[in-house]
Amino acid sequence: AIIYVRRNEQTHTLRIVHVFTDEEADAPVLTAFREMAALFDSMYPKIRVDFVSVQGEFCPAMIEWLSRSMNVPRNMMFITQPDLISAERVSTAGVRVITA
């Protein structure tokens, strides 16, 4: 995804956002994402890689809130496919889905 963004998008910043419901239960995941973002940031010096964690429900309303609070249009957002239902719900809001 980072290489795609560098080659095809007009930005120098990539934010990895993780939406979680239970901070204690998700603590290992949050730590892993934070460390991964720091690693990617050092590996790709031409693009800034940040990590943001947000407590809440991953749904179209969350996408809208993220879009407004970060000043990023929904069509400039990518998500990995957490599950089919979530991907379908947020892709209708204009978010691009990355499948692997």
What are the domain boundaries of the chain? 2-98
**Predicted local confidence at residue 38, as pLDDT:** 97
**Predicted local confidence at residue 1, as pLDDT:** 77
**36 φ, ψ (degrees, to nearest 5):** -65, -45
For residues 92 and 74, the answer to whether their CB atoms sit within 8 Å is no
pLDDT tens, per residue, the chain with 100 residues: 788 888 888 889 999 999 888 888 889 989 999 999 999 999 999 999 999 999 998 888 998 999 999 999 988 888 776 666 566 666 666 777 766 5
Q: Which DSSP symbol is given to 95?
A: P
**Predicted local confidence at residue 3, as pLDDT:** 85
**Predicted local confidence at residue 91, as pLDDT:** 64
**Predicted local confidence at residue 32, as pLDDT:** 94
